[in-house]
Amino acid sequence: MRKKVILITGAVGEIGQALIQSLAESDANDLLTLDLQPLPADLQHLSTHIQGDILDKNLLTRLVTEYEFDTVFHLAALLSARGEFAPELAHRVNVEGTLGLLQLAAEQSQRRGDPVRFIFPSSIAVYGLPDLETKARDYFVREWDWNHPTTMYGCNKLYCEQLGAYYSRHYQQLAAASPVMLDFRSIRFPGLISAFTTPTGGTSDYGPEMLHAAAQDNPYACFVREDSVIPFMAMPDAVMALLKLAQAPRERLTRTVYNITSFSLTAAEIRDLVAQAFPNAIISFEADGKRQRIIDSWPAGLIDKAAHRDWGWEPAYGAERAFNEYLIPNIMKRYRDV
Ligand code: SER
Q: Is residue 26 part of a domain?
A: no
Looking at residue 326, what is its pLDDT?
98
8 A C-beta contact, residue 210 and residue 284: no
Check pLDDT > 80 for residue 336. Answer: no
The residue-averaged pLDDT of 221-248 equals: 98
Q: Is residue 37 part of a domain?
A: no
Round the average pLDDT of the chain to a whole number and report it. Answer: 96
Protein residue with least CA distance to atom 2, ligand 1: 202
The residue-averaged pLDDT of 244-265 equals: 98
Percent of the chain with pLDDT over 70: 99
Which atom belonging to ligand 1 lies closest to the Cα atom of 81?
7
Q: Is residue 186 part of a domain?
A: yes
**15-49 residue pLDDT tens:** 999 999 999 998 778 999 999 999 999 999 999 99
Alpha-carbon distances, residue 322 vs 170, 177, 188, 327 (angstroms): 40, 50, 19, 6
DSSP 214-235: HHTT--EEESS-TT-EEEEEEH
CB 123 less than 6 A from any atom of ligand 1 = yes
Number of Cβ within 10 Å of residue 329's Cβ equals: 14
Q: Is residue 17 part of a domain?
A: no
Q: Is residue 326 part of a domain?
A: yes
Domain that holds residue 90: 77-336
Dist. CA 297 → ligand 1 center (Å): 13
CB 54 less than 6 A from any atom of ligand 1 = no
Edge to edge, the sheet with strand 229-234 lists 191-193, 229-234, 263-266
**What's the CA gap between 307 and 304, in Å, rounded?**
6
Domains in the chain, number: 1
Dist. CA 97 → ligand 1 center (Å): 18
H/E element, 117: strand 117-123
CB 125 less than 6 A from any atom of ligand 1 = yes
Check pLDDT > 80 for residue 180. Answer: yes
Q: Is residue 162 part of a domain?
A: yes
CATH of the domain at 273: 3.40.50.720
CB 94 less than 6 A from any atom of ligand 1 = no
8 A C-beta contact, residue 221 and residue 262: no
What are the two backbone dihedrals, phi and then psi, of residue 202, each rounded to the nearest 5 degrees?
A: -95, 170
- The pTM of this model reads 0.97
Dist. CA 80 → ligand 1 center (Å): 6
Looking at residue 183, what is its pLDDT?
98
What one-letter code names the amino acid at 297? Answer: S
The residue-averaged pLDDT of 206-213 equals: 97
CB 33 less than 6 A from any atom of ligand 1 = no
Task: Give 30-63 as a 3 state SS string.
Answer: EEEEEECCCCCHHHHHHCEEEECCCCCHHHHHHH
8 A C-beta contact, residue 100 and residue 57: yes
Dist. CA 330 → ligand 1 center (Å): 22
Which atom belonging to ligand 1 lies closest to the Cα atom of 192?
1
Dist. CA 218 → ligand 1 center (Å): 23
Looking at residue 19, what is its pLDDT?
98
CB 297 less than 6 A from any atom of ligand 1 = no
Hey, which of 78, 84, 120, 123 would you mutate to test ligand 1's pocket, going by the most ligand atoms within 8 Å of its Cβ?
123
The residue-averaged pLDDT of 315-326 equals: 97
The residue-averaged pLDDT of 154-172 equals: 97
Check pLDDT > 90 for residue 57. Answer: yes
Dist. CA 27 → ligand 1 center (Å): 30
Question: Of 289, 283, 237, which Cα lies nearest the Cα of 260?
Answer: 237
The residue-averaged pLDDT of 239-264 equals: 98
**What's the CA gap between 26 and 73, in Å, rounded?**
16
The residue-averaged pLDDT of 132-157 equals: 98
Check pLDDT > 90 for residue 337. Answer: no
Protein residue with least CA distance to atom 1, ligand 1: 191
Q: Is residue 209 part of a domain?
A: yes
Query: Which of 10-19, 193-202, 329-338 is predicted with the least confidence, judged by mean pLDDT?
Result: 329-338
Protein residue with least CA distance to atom 6, ligand 1: 123
CB 315 less than 6 A from any atom of ligand 1 = no
What are the two backbone dihedrals, phi and then psi, of residue 2, each rounded to the nearest 5 degrees?
A: -80, 150
Measured over the CA atoms of residue 6, residue 8, residue 12 and residue 14, the dihedral's sign is negative
CB 191 less than 6 A from any atom of ligand 1 = yes
Biggest CA-to-CA distance, the chain:
68
Looking at residue 338, what is its pLDDT?
66
Q: Is residue 56 part of a domain?
A: no
